[in-house]
Structure 1
Amino acid sequence: MNLPHTRTAPAPPAPRPGAALAALAAAQFTVMLATSNVNVALPRIAAGVGLSDGGTTWVVNAYGLAFGALLLAGGRAADLLGRRRVLVIGLGLFAVASLTAGLAGSAGVLIAARAVQGIGAAAVAPAALALALALFPPGPGRGRVLGVWGAVSGAGAACGVLLGGVLTQAWGWPWIFHSVALGTALVVVAVVVLVPRTADRMTGRFDLLGTAVVTVALTCLVWGLTTARGTGWTDPPVAAALVAAAVLLAAFAVIELRRPDALLPPRLFTTGRVAAGNLLMALLGSVWIALFFFLPLYQQQVLGEGPLVTGVGQLPLAAANVLGAALAPRVARRLGATTTLTAALLTEALGLLWLSRISAHGSYATDVLGPSILVGLGLGIAFVQLTALAVEGVPARDAGLAGGLVNTTRQVGGAIGLAALASLAGSVTAHSAAHQTRLEALTTGYRTAFTVSASVITATALLALFLTRRAGRTGPSTATPSTRPPSDPAELPRLSRTG
């Protein structure tokens, strides 16, 4: 008796790593886009939902507050629950919140929707980075991942200003959020189709106590810093929030040393590079976020450009950022990591110093274009190098947490830098208004902010020269293979050259 012949359908081809990386990069681009796409539209948003001047800032702050405070929790959740799963859930939450923000008819609904956007972003950013790093082993492929990550991160922030200006002028401010909701929905589909399912779920328990303490601490810190811009540093609620943040962060450090499943385990810092990378990233972030705050203000309030022209004016900066991020791995292989990072930071500092010479009677071509290209080029290269430093040698089980940590330091550093620089620029402008015209006083405040930013980045370059060399001498690359036999090839520390 002949049995009927059955044909087994061939297994579907595995998604290519390049396509999966593109989907994950699109997720990161979307998150970064939302950090800046409302900046140029704030006056029209305020008029549309009836926001006061103080309330307008919370359209920006609500997103940044939730994003920065929950990144560590998002990174650990990705490690324990599965990175692909957490990424899809975060993207879904982000899309729904974006749609709600565009439909908001009141200030409360809009600000709440922006906060939920931040919660979704806190799940997306670390999960996407961990998945992207898992696609490529350490080596040239890993450099490609970090180059793409740097390009989409910087370009997302710059293109957010452009998109906000175009959509606000063409169809109105709600389309800033509607477009993000539509784009995020497409990213969800791309992730589901292109990013492979992997056994990326790690064993362990979620550190609820540590998560609660650090989340409240970061919330107090970011809230205090952002509120201080409007009320002043001596305002009692601001002072109380900052003191509470300091006390809670100290308590968090004690808690983590005593818990077996700590949210931020000490082993994360045993490579000698994670701490250095995160400290330098915080300093870079302190200037990065402020740049995209002051530059559009100067273009609109002093040069008199509209939202559309202001947005288009960010394109050279975005293009230079993408170019720098793309070149970073190649330059680092030729010059060494330390030399490349130091040169990139000094290039950015030079561009910021050039911006400190802006004029109240200047123009985009003479005052903004040239320094924007220098800043973008240096920023793109530096971001790639610092991200590589902050995740180098991290065990595979902590990849999501490492991604959450480096994003947290950038966000918190940005909140600190923006609060300090905005307060400084505001006080200088107020003092100058007594003997200068309004435009001249505004320009004097912006020039001061750019001068201080250049000083911070110059100091960061000098610190990088010391820290990266020191980390290279004391990190795991000097250990023998028998020190800690890795359980997974991805856990093998990679050697990186220092300049």
Structure 2
Amino acid sequence: MVPGSPPDPRRRWWVLAVLCLSVLLVSVDNTIVNVALPTLAGELSAGTSDLQWVVDGYTLVFAALLLLGGHLGDRFGRLRVLQAGLVLFGLTSLLAALAGTTGELVAARAAMGVAAALVFPATLALLVATFPDRRERATAIGIWSAVTGLSVAIGPVTGGLLLEHFAWGSVFLVNVPLVLLALVAGRALLRESREPVHGRFDGVGVLGSVAGIGLLVWTTIEAPGRGWTAPVTLAGYAAAALVLAGFVWWEARRPDPLLDVRLFTDRRVSAASGAIALAFFALFGFIFLITQYFQAVLGYGTLAAGVGTLPFALVIGATSPLAVLLVRRLGTAVVVTAGLLVMAAGFVVAAGSAVDSAYWGRVVVAMVLMAGGLGLVMSPATETVMGALRSEQAGAGSAVNDTVREVGGTLGVAVVGSVMSTVYAPAVRDGLAGLPAAVRDAAGDSVVAGLAVAARLPDGTAAADVVRQSFVDGLSAGSWVCAAACAAGALAAAVWLPAHRPAATPLPEPVPAA
């Protein structure tokens, strides 16, 4: 699997630093744009659906192509694919910074997602190859997981700092020098790793994964505007279900699948993957809303809104290393279940937020609980997935772990954002009942558009209060969805995750293709 011997022990941790820098780059772009959403809504006339696509244009393509990215790394060399992805990421970041319309920005963000799909799975697969010792590998995965978790808060803080002094394109330009640093350091420290035996390229699997995930996310984002029971919405969900079912059937029959779905027959893999997916579903959905809440409802500037998410970074940074120690003492099932329950409690607290909620009160308590729970989930669940597999399955395991994380996050923005829109738009229209229909429709497009409409009205203060209250109602509904997702994940983890991780066992042979 890995040409040559593993790196010298003294160099392994420097290798980990390079891998963490690379994964931080692509992970930060999941959230760095969130703090710019109100700015984009004003400067590019973007509605809530447009803003969801600015976020999900990246995460959707990222998630849909992760399996292909992991396969290319296994086939052509993970270091080679990692570096190619970093180069592409730098170039597409430049394109995003130069975008002049919402459509151009979404397209550039999608291209960035292609690059991220090459980078992300390569980092985890290279980490596993670099740390063959199980105890060292668990610690390294804990650090890697902490970095991916820290990106949730580093993104908004960095974005807020840049927007305080520069135009919105700066949130993408900042990637370029970091890409150069990761390329140079990677060339100096990393060693190539690939699978010695390659199967045939699974083109049908690639198309199936992209089409299935794409249809599911597109339908969810567009549902509030088109109607949840509209024929196009129902047809979209039916088509997504058929395509994804066909994808699973196809992959199960191939001797050389893009995604080895047999991995999910191991309850450790399926339960841990589900925990990761649901945790990031809830977190990404909430981050999409809370940065808008800080700016549109509490009146924070971009920097203050970014800094407001710092509790995520501080608490995740503290609890992720602690999780590794707790697993050794209490077992994986207890730690992951507790983490998801703590996250659920955080979302319940957030659901009670009001227009005048104090930051140093309900808001901080909610974020601390969410971040603390996430820190307990990430590294134990990731290590469970990777630890359940044989060494030659590292690439497949990395692809599974990365894909469920990004698919969960992508669906979180789509579902939670759509729930918020479903509550917000009718509430605004009802609250502004005395105004012309065109004005009420414009106000219902997004909270930023609503405040802009209110500012032009004679009784602007009362109208702005209606807009803010409607958004908070949507935030509360979205938070309840997040809490339910985490509670469901906790139940699954408690039932199906083993108390302690047993050694990896061989999986059954694939069914020969007909």
Which TM-score bucket, shorter chain as reference?
0.7 to 0.9
**Aligned equivalent of 2:489, options 456, 460, 474:** 460
- Which amino acid in structure 1 is aligned with residue 422 of structure 2? S
CA distance in 1 between counterparts of 2:9 and 2:368 reads 40
- 387-396 or 427-436: which moved more? 427-436
Q: Map of 1:109-148 to 2, 5 A cutoff?
A: 109-148=104-143
Change (3 A) 1:338 1:177: same
Contact kept? 2:164, 2:303, Cα under 8 Å: yes
CA contact (8 A) 1:98 1:181 kept: yes
Decide whether the 8 Å contact of 1:81 with 1:202 is kept in 2: no
> What is the CA–CA distance in structure 1 between the aligned matches of 2:282 and 2:211, rounded to whole Å?
25
The reply on whether 1:440 has 2:469 as its aligned counterpart is yes
Which residue pairs with 2:236 in the alignment?
241
Deviations 1:335-389 (A, max 9, x none): 1111111121222222222222212112211231222112111111211122122
With the length of structure 2 as denominator, give the TM-score of the two structures: 0.84
User: Structure 2 counterpart of 1:467, which letter?
Assistant: W
Q: Is the 8 A contact 2:271 2:492 kept in 1?
A: no
Amino acid at match of 1:175: S
Deviation at 1:470? 8.6
Q: Is the 8 A contact 1:281 1:386 kept in 2?
A: yes
Q: How far apart are residue 425 of structure 1 and its match?
A: 2.7
Q: Once the two structures are superposed, what CA deviation does each residue of 1:185-204 show, in whole Å capped at 9, x if it has no partner?
A: 21121211121234555432
Q: 1:390 aligns with which of 373, 385, 398?
A: 385
Of 99, 103, 108, the residue aligned with 1:104 is 99
Q: 1:207 to 1:113 in 2, by over 3 A?
A: same
Shift of residue 272, structure 1, vs aligned partner: 3.4
Q: Deviations over 1:105-124 (max 9, x none)?
A: 34443222111100001111
Counterpart for residue 189 of structure 1: 184
CA distance in 2, matches of 1:256, 1:13: 38
Matched, 1:449 2:478: yes
What TM-score, normalized to structure 1? 0.87
Cα distance in 2 for residues equivalent to 1:330 and 1:69 = 34
Separation in 2, partners of 1:252, 1:134: 29
How far is 1:428 from its partner?
3.1
Contact 1:272–1:471 at 8 Å: present in 2 too?
no
The verdict on how the C-alpha distance between 1:138 and 1:271 changes in structure 2, with shifts beyond 3 A counting, is: farther
Where does 1:387-426 land on structure 2 (aligned, <5 Å)?
Answer: 387-426=382-421
Q: What amino acid is aligned across from residue 79 of structure 2 in structure 1?
A: R
Distance in structure 1 (CA, Å) of the matches to 2:61 and 2:255: 27
Q: Residues 343 and 246 of structure 1: is their aligned pair in 2 closer, same or farther, counting only changes over 3 Å?
A: same
In structure 2, C-alpha distance between the alignment counterparts of 1:101 and 1:16, rounded to whole Å: 35
Looking at structure 1, the residues matched to 82 and 28 of structure 2 have their Cα atoms a distance apart, in angstroms, of 17
For the 8 Å contact 1:272–1:476, the answer to whether it is kept is no
The AA in structure 2 aligned to 1:374 is L
Please list the CA deviations of residues 37-71 of structure 1 after superposition, one character each: whole Å capped at 9, or x if unmatched. Answer: 11121343355556566434322221122111111
Distance, in Å, in 1 between the alignment partners of 2:209 and 2:270 is 18
Q: CA 1:97 to 1:238, structure 2 compared with 1: closer, same or farther past 3 Å?
A: farther
- Aligned pair partner of 2:80 in 70, 78, 85: 85
Partner in structure 1 of residue 263 of structure 2 = 268
Alignment check: 8 A CA contact 2:126 2:193 kept: no
In the TM superposition, residue 442 of structure 1 has moved relative to its aligned partner by: 2.1
1:50–1:186 CA distance, 2 compared to 1 (3 A): farther
Cα separation, partners in 2 of 1:214 and 1:455, compared to 1, 3 Å: closer
Unaligned runs of 5+ residues in structure 2 are: 1-6, 432-464, 508-514
Following superposition, the deviation at residue 92 of structure 1 comes to 0.9
Q: Give unmatched runs, 5+ long, in structure 1.
A: 1-11, 485-499
Query: Is structure 2 residue 203 aligned with structure 1 residue 208?
Result: yes
CA distances 1:398-433 after superposition (whole Å, capped 9, x unpaired):
322322222222222233333333333333334555
- Alpha-carbon distance in structure 1 between the residues aligned to 2:108 and 2:197: 31
User: What is the alpha-carbon distance in structure 2 between the residues aligned to residue 83 and residue 125 of structure 1?
Assistant: 10
Aligned residue number for residue 317 of structure 1: 312
* Equivalent position of 1:7 in the other structure: none
Query: How many residues align structurally?
Result: 468
AA matched with 1:295: I
Query: Cα RMSD (Å) of the superposition?
Result: 2.6
Matched, 1:296 2:291: yes
Is the deviation greater in 399-408 or in 44-53?
44-53
Cα deviation code 1:197-217 (max 9, x no counterpart): 345554322212222222222
Report the counterpart of residue 446 of structure 2 in structure 1.
Answer: none
Whole-Å Cα distance in 1 between the matches of residues 133 and 8 of structure 2? Answer: 24
Amino acid at match of 1:264: L
**In 2, Cα distance between the equivalents of 1:95 and 1:71?**
18
- Cα distance in 2 between the residues matched to 1:157 and 1:370: 17
